[in-house]
Every structure is written in C-alpha cells, then in structure tokens.
C-alpha cells in the first residue's frame, strides 16, 4: 500500500509542473485562439537560462526565477509583436505554420549553440527528503509542486479580480465586443502571450534542477502539454491543472509497473477513452471555446 501512496505523491509533484506548462499554453489558446507549437522551446530556453545562471553566477534555481521569468515575459512580448500579431487575422493554418517554423528555428539555434549534450543542475539540497511515516517526500519536488500550483492559482485570481484579467476574459469571449467597450485588444493579446511565456519560463526554472536539459527537452514536454490542454478543455485553466495532475499520476504508475517506455502509451490510451466519453474535455463547453478561471 505504501508504494501506491508514494507513486501517487511522485505523480502529483511532476503533474503540478505539467499543469503550469499547460496553463500558459491554454491561456494563449483561450484568448488568441493560437496553438503555439513553439511553447516547448520556450521551456527549453528557460531551462538553459537557469542552468547557466547556476553554473556561471552561482545563482540558486529558485532565485534565478527573478531573472528568467521577466526575461521570458519580454521574449513573449517581442514574439507576439513581430510574429503572432501579423497572423491573427489569417487562417488558422498560417498560425500553425508560423509557430511550427518558430519551434524548428529555436530548436536548431539551441542545437547549434549548445549541441545535443545533456546538462544538469545539482543543488546541495537535491537529495534532501522529508519522511512522514513510510513515505519520503523530496524537498525539491515538494517545493516545485507548491510553487507551480501557487502560480496557477495566482493566474486564476489575476484573471478574475484585476482589470487586465477582466479585459483578458472579455477579449476571450468576444474580441469585437471588447473593442466596442474600449478594451485595447492588441495590448491584451500582447500581455496574454507574454504571460503564457512567463508561465512556461517559471515551469522551466522548476524543472531545471529535476531533469537534464538539451535542445530537444521542450519538444518532449510539449506533447504532454497538448494532451493536458485538450483533456482539460481547450481554454480552461482549471481543466489544465486537473488534467496535469492526472497525467502525472498516470505516468508515475505506468512507469513503475510497465516501464518508462510505456508511459506515453498508457496516458494516450486514457486520453482517448476520456475524450470518447466527453469530447470537450473536463471543463470544456460544447460548441464554444471559453476561458474558465474557476
């Protein structure tokens, strides 16, 4: 019985970070209606930034977030202004090609700069653990989980209780009506896309001490993120958090009992079964793509 609880905790811890990655992705889709295929490369960039800040400046990964997250926010602003904004009125296939091309471009830039070698961060507290009865909780994973969930909740509160959050939700529901009531839709789009980049940047900071990074890391993670976004309901933040935790637990159990190579098979099977029963995902609404911050 103890091993089942231990696996569930391990799954929830990594699932929290999956959820944070997916919240940024679903936020961008829910407001801009853009599927950002370069989201995984933003994660990789954030992990590399954390790695170099740790090894060159001796900055703890959690402290590095003070630099990495604002930098990713600025990177998101620049990307939205130069690339995304030009495609918003174009057919969706154009947006897909643009973000996919950006993904390939960034991946190859990272490959040229850093090669395909894996790089790791080893902190002094990496192996520290808290024992509660028969269970062992890694302090590092616990801190990453708490930070990820806190950020996801913070985004939900920001969207619900601030003026900019209200403007983002109004724009997500009807951009034309939002313009009519005086909302600067272009600014909303820029802030939303930059916020999505900042969130995946925060996820990269949290992942960097846990997993090695190379230019392909983000490409592996984005597959999980897309599953979570669709499973939770396109545009639903609450759904992304719930689906992220679920996929994390499924991964933990399947990796332990069936082997790590089987985890994708298992969670894709669960994904298809759930969508067969509920095609709109956990919190999606049939016939509409609606921001859900409850």
Q: Give the DSSP H/E element, type plus range, for residue 137.
A: strand 135-138
Q: Where are the beta strands (DSSP E) in 93-188?
A: 129-132, 135-138
Tell me the two tokens of residue 52: 């170099």
Tell me the two tokens of residue 144: 């990453």
Question: Measuring CA to CA, how many Å separate 196 from each of 55, 137, 181?
Answer: 27, 29, 25
Structural domains of the chain sorted by starting position, each given as residue range(s) with its CATH number in brackets: 2-112+134-277 (1.10.3470)
**235: left (phi > 0), else alpha (psi -120 to 50), else beta?**
left
Question: Which residues on adjacent β-strands are paired with residue 129?
Answer: 138
Q: What are phi and psi of 166, to 5 degrees?
A: -65, -40
Check if the beta carbon of residue 71 is closer than 8 Å to that of residue 201: yes
Give the distance, in angstroms, between the CA of residue 115 and the centroid of all CA atoms in the same chain. Answer: 24
Determine how many CB atoms are found less than 10 A away from the CB of residue 115: 11
Give 214-233 pLDDT, tens digit per residue: 999 998 888 899 999 989 88
Closest Cα to residue 268, out of 224, 217, 229, 238? 224
For the whole model, what pTM was predicted?
0.91
Question: Measuring CA to CA, how many Å separate 98 from each of 59, 94, 229?
Answer: 35, 6, 20
**In the prediction, which pLDDT does 294 show?**
43
pLDDT tens per residue, the chain (294 residues)?
678 888 899 899 999 999 999 999 999 998 988 889 999 999 999 999 999 999 999 899 999 999 999 999 999 999 999 999 989 888 888 988 999 999 999 999 999 999 989 999 988 887 788 777 778 888 888 999 999 999 999 999 999 999 999 999 999 888 888 888 889 999 999 999 999 999 999 999 999 999 999 999 998 888 899 999 989 888 788 889 999 999 999 999 998 888 878 888 888 888 888 888 888 888 876 554 444 444
**In the prediction, which pLDDT does 290 show?**
46
Determine how many CB atoms are found less than 10 A away from the CB of residue 229: 29
Closest Cα to residue 282, out of 233, 216, 218? 233
**In the prediction, which pLDDT does 285 show?**
63
Where do runs of H (alpha helix) occur along 174-236?
Answer: 175-180, 185-207, 217-232
């Amino acid at each position: 019985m103890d091993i089942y609880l231990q696996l569930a905790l391990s799954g929830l811890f990594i699932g929290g970070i999956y959820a944070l990655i997916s919240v940024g992705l679903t936020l961008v889709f829910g407001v801009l209606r853009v599927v950002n295929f370069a989201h995984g490369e933003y994660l990789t960039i954030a992990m590399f930034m954390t790695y170099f800040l740790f090894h060159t400046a001796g900055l703890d990964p959690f402290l590095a977030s003070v630099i990495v997250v604002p930098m990713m926010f600025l990177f998101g602003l620049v990307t939205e202004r130069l690339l995304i904004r030009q495609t918003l009125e174009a057919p969706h296939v154009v947006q897909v090609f643009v973000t996919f091309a950006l993904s390939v471009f960034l991946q190859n830039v990272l490959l040229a700069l850093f090669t395909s070698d894996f790089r790791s961060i080893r902190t002094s507290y990496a192996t520290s653990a808290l024992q509660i009865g028969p269970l062992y909780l890694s302090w590092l994973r616990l801190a990453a989980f708490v930070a990820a969930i806190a950020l996801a909740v913070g985004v939900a509160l920001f969207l619900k209780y601030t003026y900019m959050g209200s403007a983002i939700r109004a724009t997500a529901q009807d951009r034309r009506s939002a313009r009519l009531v005086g909302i600067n839709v272009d600014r909303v789009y820029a802030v939303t896309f930059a916020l999505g980049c900042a969130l995946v940047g925060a996820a990269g900071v949290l992942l960097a001490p846990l997993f090695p990074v190379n230019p392909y890391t983000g490409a592996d993670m984005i597959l999980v993120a897309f599953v979570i976004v669709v499973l939770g309901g396109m545009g639903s933040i609450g759904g992304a958090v719930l689906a992220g935790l679920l996929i994390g637990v499924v991964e933990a159990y399947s990796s332990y009992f069936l082997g790590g190579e089987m985890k994708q098979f298992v969670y894709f099977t669960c994904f298809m079964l759930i969508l067969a029963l509920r095609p709109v995902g956990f919190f999606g609404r049939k016939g509409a793509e609606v921001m859900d911050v409850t």
